[in-house]
Amino acid sequence: MNAELVPRTTVTEICARRRSALALYATAYSAISSADNAIGSAIAEGRAAGPVVTRFNHHHQNAAKMFLARLEVPDRDQYLDQARRIVDTDVWAHIIELTGLRRLMDKTAKDQFQKQLLEDPPEVTEENILATLKQLATDQDTIFKRGIAECFSKLDRRFKSHDGFKIGHRIILDRAFDEWGSWNYHRNHRDTFFDIERTFYVLEGLDPPEYGGLSDVIEKARAGGWGKRQSEVETEFFKVCCYKNGNAHVWFKRDDLIERVNKLLAEYYGEVVPDGRQAEDDGGLFTPKTTPAKHYGFYPTPDTAAAIVIDRSDLYHRKDEEALTVLEPSAGTGNLASLAAAEGAIVDCVEYQAHLATDLQRSGLYRRVTQMDFLAMQPDPERLYNRLIMNPPFDMERDIDHVMHAWKFLKPEGRLIAIMSAGTEFRTTRKATAFRAFMKKRNANWRDLPAGSFSSVGTNVNTILLTVTPYGQNCY
């Protein structure tokens, strides 16, 4: 896909017609203004000729008032600006259709482009058209991957990570059909089927069907009935079983396409797909990785995510109480620690990289900064912490290793708040499974951070926020 899909001559012709349209709108405004002046003069002359209302003409006063109403002539600049917006919006919509880019734009790209057209459509010029097409063509690969990530992660939470959904697993679409056996439009899973089918067709180098797609096949199989009922269909890519409870169970028939989807997710999320990694290869819950993470797993905590962590930390204390003690392991640039210090907490930091540890020390914000590998650090039973706030390395489940080690530093009445990889919540590795069981016993709270929370620091990886206490308090 590139800008040459629209020949330069076509762009030139479109822009010429656009300029002609705006010139005609300017002419039209002059005509409207002249007509209004003419109507005003005619009304004045008519009233001069017949200035009184009597029993012989009062019966037509309402009709005369409506007929003689003056035109509402807008301000010239406002009129021409509105004309420009209307014309330019229509031209941009035509350009997107003309290039076929709409077919490969994900929902986010469409929403962003539509928002721009609604708020202030860019001026249509040859340079702007070609520059926009070039940018869309350049971003096409990212847009497609982002579309897959959004589509499949909404389809099933396991797709929030590249390694969460395993080959052979099914997907359950809850309440896809209503009590009458028709599509449940509150769920809108008809569009869900369209999105996942579109992805597979594009991966195969095929055009998605306009008609006769998976949704149409399902509707045909369920036609002629009424009320709760079962049905089953198969297409080239899917097997779908629809049950009386309204749920639809979906199986992917092409394992190779699921593997390609997972690889594309890994590329988009910024995750590395480990070669030959199997669940049985992973260590247990208390056997951490001993090698450093790639690039130390360093992704500074963005401001929005950091603010959420601090909000969940509940650092308030009364004036007659001692300030809470806080530890940030793998503190990096101190994006969490500095906010905790600003809340009046007594903060210690641990950081493996010497230059970052030096910067933390120089800031003067913290009681203590220790430069070492946090996993090699042992807790002092006399100096445990009220709060552990964390954004640990994610790769190879190191976030689990760091959280489990941090657990040893927490006071019995304390609270741990950690940003973790979304895959932690559903991976089937021994470590992840044991970790979830450990946290379930303590009523841990999991919540999604917004998609793209870490995009500003170089990764699209999906993240969750874990909040847990040793004594099992519900942290909602």
Q: Mean pLDDT in runs of 10 for the chain (476 residues)?
A: 62 94 96 91 90 86 84 91 95 86 70 87 91 80 79 74 67 89 85 82 81 87 88 92 93 88 81 45 67 66 95 89 94 96 96 95 97 95 96 89 96 96 87 93 92 82 92 75
The pLDDT score that the predictor gives to residue 297 is: 60
Residue at 36: amino acid letter? D
**Intra-chain end-to-end CA distance of the chain, in Å:** 47
The pLDDT score that the predictor gives to residue 293 is: 56
Is residue 449 a contact partner of residue 465, using CB atoms and an 8 Å limit? yes
User: How many C-beta neighbours within 10 Å does residue 380 have?
Assistant: 8
The pLDDT score that the predictor gives to residue 275 is: 39
Q: Which two tokens stand for residue 466?
A: 């874990």
CATH number for 294-468 (one of 3.40.50.300, 3.30.420.10, 3.40.50.150, 3.40.50.970): it is 3.40.50.150
Residue-range domain boundaries for the chain:
3-138, 156-269, 294-468
Is residue 244 a contact partner of residue 229, using CB atoms and an 8 Å limit? yes
CA angle, residues 348, 354, 359, in degrees to nearest 5: 60
The pLDDT score that the predictor gives to residue 276 is: 38
The pLDDT score that the predictor gives to residue 164 is: 65
Model-level pTM? 0.63
Residue at 240: amino acid letter? V
